[in-house]
Structure 1
Protein backbone atom coordinates (compact mmCIF):
# COMPACT_ATOMS: atom_id res chain seq x y z
CA UNK A 1 0.00 0.00 0.00
CA UNK A 2 2.81 2.39 0.88
CA UNK A 3 4.51 1.64 -2.44
CA UNK A 4 1.31 2.56 -4.30
CA UNK A 5 1.00 5.87 -2.41
CA UNK A 6 4.64 6.74 -3.12
CA UNK A 7 4.13 6.00 -6.81
CA UNK A 8 1.00 8.20 -6.93
CA UNK A 9 2.82 10.98 -5.12
CA UNK A 10 5.73 10.83 -7.58
CA UNK A 11 3.32 11.00 -10.53
CA UNK A 12 1.64 14.07 -9.03
CA UNK A 13 5.04 15.73 -8.57
CA UNK A 14 5.89 14.99 -12.21
CA UNK A 15 2.59 16.53 -13.36
CA UNK A 16 3.18 19.62 -11.22
CA UNK A 17 6.74 20.07 -12.54
CA UNK A 18 5.51 19.69 -16.12
CA UNK A 19 2.71 22.20 -15.54
CA UNK A 20 5.07 24.72 -13.99
CA UNK A 21 7.46 24.37 -16.95
CA UNK A 22 4.61 24.99 -19.39
CA UNK A 23 3.32 28.02 -17.50
CA UNK A 24 6.73 29.64 -17.05
CA UNK A 25 7.92 28.95 -20.60
CA UNK A 26 8.22 31.89 -22.98
CA UNK A 27 8.60 30.05 -26.26
CA UNK A 28 6.04 32.17 -28.19
CA UNK A 29 7.35 35.52 -27.00
CA UNK A 30 9.57 36.06 -30.04
CA UNK A 31 6.65 35.60 -32.41
CA UNK A 32 4.65 38.37 -30.76
CA UNK A 33 7.63 40.74 -30.88
CA UNK A 34 8.15 40.02 -34.57
CA UNK A 35 4.49 40.58 -35.35
CA UNK A 36 4.51 43.94 -33.56
CA UNK A 37 7.66 45.01 -35.44
CA UNK A 38 6.10 44.08 -38.77
CA UNK A 39 2.88 45.97 -37.99
CA UNK A 40 4.81 49.07 -36.92
CA UNK A 41 6.88 49.02 -40.10
CA UNK A 42 3.74 48.65 -42.24
CA UNK A 43 2.07 51.61 -40.54
CA UNK A 44 5.17 53.82 -40.85
CA UNK A 45 5.57 52.83 -44.51
CA UNK A 46 1.93 53.65 -45.25
CA UNK A 47 2.24 57.05 -43.58
CA UNK A 48 5.41 57.80 -45.52
CA UNK A 49 3.81 56.77 -48.80
CA UNK A 50 0.72 58.88 -48.12
CA UNK A 51 2.91 61.89 -47.28
CA UNK A 52 4.93 61.52 -50.48
CA UNK A 53 1.77 61.10 -52.54
CA UNK A 54 0.29 64.28 -51.06
CA UNK A 55 3.56 66.16 -51.58
CA UNK A 56 3.85 65.15 -55.22
CA UNK A 57 0.17 65.77 -55.94
CA UNK A 58 -0.10 69.20 -54.34
CA UNK A 59 3.37 70.76 -54.63
CA UNK A 60 5.73 69.12 -57.09
CA UNK A 61 3.54 68.17 -60.05
CA UNK A 62 1.69 71.51 -60.43
CA UNK A 63 5.01 73.39 -60.23
CA UNK A 64 6.59 71.02 -62.74
CA UNK A 65 3.61 71.35 -65.09
CA UNK A 66 3.82 75.16 -64.95
CA UNK A 67 7.57 75.14 -65.64
CA UNK A 68 7.12 72.86 -68.65
CA UNK A 69 4.39 75.10 -70.06
CA UNK A 70 6.59 78.14 -69.51
CA UNK A 71 9.46 76.44 -71.40
CA UNK A 72 7.29 75.67 -74.43
CA UNK A 73 5.69 79.12 -74.44
CA UNK A 74 9.08 80.82 -74.40
CA UNK A 75 9.23 83.63 -76.94
CA UNK A 76 13.01 83.74 -77.10
CA UNK A 77 13.31 87.40 -76.30
CA UNK A 78 13.33 88.31 -80.01
CA UNK A 79 10.91 91.08 -80.97
Structure 2
Protein backbone atom coordinates (compact mmCIF):
# COMPACT_ATOMS: atom_id res chain seq x y z
CA UNK A 1 0.00 0.00 0.00
CA UNK A 2 2.81 2.39 0.91
CA UNK A 3 4.61 1.69 -2.38
CA UNK A 4 1.46 2.49 -4.37
CA UNK A 5 1.05 5.79 -2.52
CA UNK A 6 4.67 6.72 -3.22
CA UNK A 7 4.24 5.91 -6.92
CA UNK A 8 1.07 7.98 -7.06
CA UNK A 9 2.85 10.87 -5.35
CA UNK A 10 5.71 10.62 -7.85
CA UNK A 11 3.30 10.70 -10.80
CA UNK A 12 1.48 13.71 -9.36
CA UNK A 13 4.76 15.53 -8.73
CA UNK A 14 6.01 14.74 -12.23
CA UNK A 15 2.74 15.97 -13.79
CA UNK A 16 2.83 19.14 -11.68
CA UNK A 17 6.37 19.78 -12.89
CA UNK A 18 5.28 19.32 -16.53
CA UNK A 19 2.39 21.75 -16.03
CA UNK A 20 4.69 24.29 -14.37
CA UNK A 21 7.13 24.03 -17.29
CA UNK A 22 4.34 24.45 -19.86
CA UNK A 23 3.03 27.56 -18.11
CA UNK A 24 6.53 29.07 -17.86
CA UNK A 25 7.29 28.46 -21.54
CA UNK A 26 7.31 31.77 -23.41
CA UNK A 27 8.04 30.48 -26.92
CA UNK A 28 4.42 30.58 -28.02
CA UNK A 29 2.78 32.74 -30.61
CA UNK A 30 1.62 36.19 -29.56
CA UNK A 31 -1.74 37.86 -29.99
CA UNK A 32 -0.33 40.42 -32.42
CA UNK A 33 1.05 37.71 -34.72
CA UNK A 34 -2.29 35.95 -34.80
CA UNK A 35 -4.21 39.19 -35.42
CA UNK A 36 -1.91 40.07 -38.33
CA UNK A 37 -2.39 36.63 -39.88
CA UNK A 38 -6.18 36.90 -39.61
CA UNK A 39 -6.12 40.41 -41.10
CA UNK A 40 -3.95 39.23 -43.98
CA UNK A 41 -6.32 36.33 -44.69
CA UNK A 42 -9.34 38.68 -44.77
CA UNK A 43 -7.61 41.18 -47.07
CA UNK A 44 -6.37 38.47 -49.45
CA UNK A 45 -9.84 36.90 -49.50
CA UNK A 46 -11.43 40.25 -50.33
CA UNK A 47 -8.92 40.80 -53.14
CA UNK A 48 -9.63 37.36 -54.59
CA UNK A 49 -13.37 37.99 -54.44
CA UNK A 50 -12.97 41.40 -56.09
CA UNK A 51 -10.84 39.78 -58.78
CA UNK A 52 -13.54 37.18 -59.46
CA UNK A 53 -16.18 39.88 -59.77
CA UNK A 54 -13.95 41.84 -62.17
CA UNK A 55 -13.13 38.73 -64.19
CA UNK A 56 -16.63 37.32 -64.65
CA UNK A 57 -18.69 40.56 -64.58
CA UNK A 58 -21.61 38.86 -62.86
CA UNK A 59 -22.70 37.80 -59.39
CA UNK A 60 -20.21 35.36 -57.88
CA UNK A 61 -21.93 34.97 -54.51
CA UNK A 62 -25.71 35.40 -54.89
CA UNK A 63 -27.52 36.62 -51.80
Task: State the TM-score, normalizing by the size of structure 1.
Answer: 0.43
5+ residue gaps, structure 1, are 1-30
Partner of 1:66: 32
Taking the aligned partners of 1:45 and 1:33, their CA distance within structure 2 comes to 18
Runs (4+) off by over 4 Å: none
5+ residue gaps, structure 2, are 45-63
Bigger Cα Rg: 1
Instruction: Considering fraction of residues, name the structure with more helix.
Output: 1
The aligned runs of 1:2-41 (5 Å cut-off) are 31-41=1-11
Q: Give the alignment partner of residue 12 of structure 2, picking from 29, 42, 47.
A: 42
Taking the aligned partners of 2:23 and 2:29, their CA distance within structure 1 comes to 10
Alignment root-mean-square deviation, CA: 2.1
Q: CA offset at residue 68 of structure 1?
A: 1.7
